[in-house]
Amino acid sequence: MKSQITNALSDFFFEYETPRQVLVRNRRVGVVCRLIQLGVLAYIIGWVFIYEKGYQSTDTAVSSVFTKMKGVGYTSEIGKERVWDVADYVFPPQGDSSFVVMTNYIITEGQNMSKCPELPGKHNCTSNKDCEGGGFKRTGHGQMTGVCVKLNTTQTCEVLAWCPVEDDRKIPDPPMLMSAENYTLFIKNSVTFPLFGVTRSNLVEGIDAEYISKCLHDPEKAPLCPIFKLGDIVKLSGFNFETIAKVGGAIGIVVDWTCNFDTDVRNCKPKYNFHGLYGNPTETDKARASVGYNFRYAKHYLEDTIQKRTLLKVFGIRIDIIVQSLARKFDIIPTLTAIGSGVGIFGVATVVCDLVLLYLLPKREFYKNMKFKYTDTHIQDPDSEVGSIETEVSKK
């Protein structure tokens, strides 16, 4: 018993088994096998290693964006001249990565809480019965008092609201702040790749205070300059400035950090891309329910102890700054994984060629006999305590 165990352990630890291979001389099968192997090799080298860079590990960045607008606008209305600076036309003013630059507006001054007639149109009436007291209309400006009043040549419902109510039916054309085209935007962006311990800023080597004070971003002449002219941003996004300034819209600025840390870290530099997200309405857009981008805000004040406000309906360009990042660096683990998976895929050639040999070729029975051994097992004496087994191996 002891010797049997010793022999079994010896066979297990000190012997090596290799699968039997049959060399088949067949041109068609050989060509199919080599073509498949060549395709697998091209996939591994071309796609996995060169295109997908399967020999590198990847990481995305943690980023921070700071913005600052500069520029002064001027408007001249009936009897009023205004100068608009950054505090007036940027919302919100904190320098976020998403903000709005006002380019057009409708202003309603001197509003106070009182009773006044609604705008003519959807709120017209012929008697008090048409104005439900205490009721609201979704497109109205306040609570109806139940009184139908005369406004010029029409009659409309009286409301308790901020009076006089805003009349936004006509958008100023041309835009009030066409000078916004010359405003400038400064973008300061910092990214950190935690996996590789690398921190980069868009103020890369050579971008110092003297350079920033003179440069203006240009995709070809000054691609790394972080100062952008608003008119250029609109143009590079594919929009028309006058059109988008009239009704508003949205533009995305993508700061792309695609870096290869197998080279010098200083080669990791940002690229700026501009995308028109919403705006630039055409003739076909007139049927839409809402065109452009706008919102309202109010400035409250006291006049002779009466609370009043100035209401502005702002049309502007919403700018969203999006940081997109992907860094790569050589790593032995993904390299070995890619190689191992590629070696495994080479087995596809063997499987396909076996299928062709055993099931498609005219001599498939001959190939089957060459590839497989057939073993028949018979019990000689079924009545004996142990019995004996005779094995006949035939190679056909």
Collapse the DSSP code of 357 into the 3-class scheme (helix H, G, I; strand E, B; otherwise coil) and give the result. helix
Q: Is 294 annotated as a binding residue?
A: yes
Angle in degrees, 0-180, between the axes of helices 347-355 and 332-345, rounded to the nearest 10: 10
Q: Is 34 annotated as a binding residue?
A: no
8 A C-beta contact, residue 191 and residue 199:
yes
Q: Identify which of 108, 107, 65, 71 has the alpha carbon closest to the alpha carbon of residue 89.
A: 71
Collapse the DSSP code of 122 into the 3-class scheme (helix H, G, I; strand E, B; otherwise coil) and give the result. coil
Q: Is 25 annotated as a binding residue?
A: no
Dihedral class, residue 11 (left if φ above 0, else alpha if ψ from -120 to 50, else beta): alpha
Collapse the DSSP code of 115 into the 3-class scheme (helix H, G, I; strand E, B; otherwise coil) and give the result. strand
Q: Is 69 annotated as a binding residue?
A: yes
Q: How far apart are the first and last CA of the chain?
A: 38
What are the two backbone dihedrals, phi and then psi, of residue 330, each rounded to the nearest 5 degrees? -60, 140
Q: Is 296 annotated as a binding residue?
A: yes
Angle in degrees, 0-180, between the axes of helices 27-42 and 347-355, rounded to the nearest 10: 150
- CA dihedral sign of residues 42, 45, 51, 52: positive
8 A C-beta contact, residue 31 and residue 25:
no
8 A C-beta contact, residue 245 and residue 175:
yes
Element (H, E) at 352: helix 347-355
Longest dimension (CA), the chain: 125
Q: Is 313 annotated as a binding residue?
A: yes
Q: Is 368 annotated as a binding residue?
A: no
**Distance (Å, whole) CA 337 – CA 4:** 41
CA distances for 367 relative to 20, 92, 248, 374, 393, angstroms:
14, 79, 75, 13, 17
**Distance (Å, whole) CA 110 – CA 95:** 30
Query: To 5 degrees, how large is the angle CA 193–CA 199–CA 204?
Result: 130
Q: Is 184 annotated as a binding residue?
A: yes
379 forms bridges with which residues in the sheet?
389
Binding residues: 68-70, 184, 294-296, 313
Binding residues for ATP: 68-70, 184, 294-296, 313
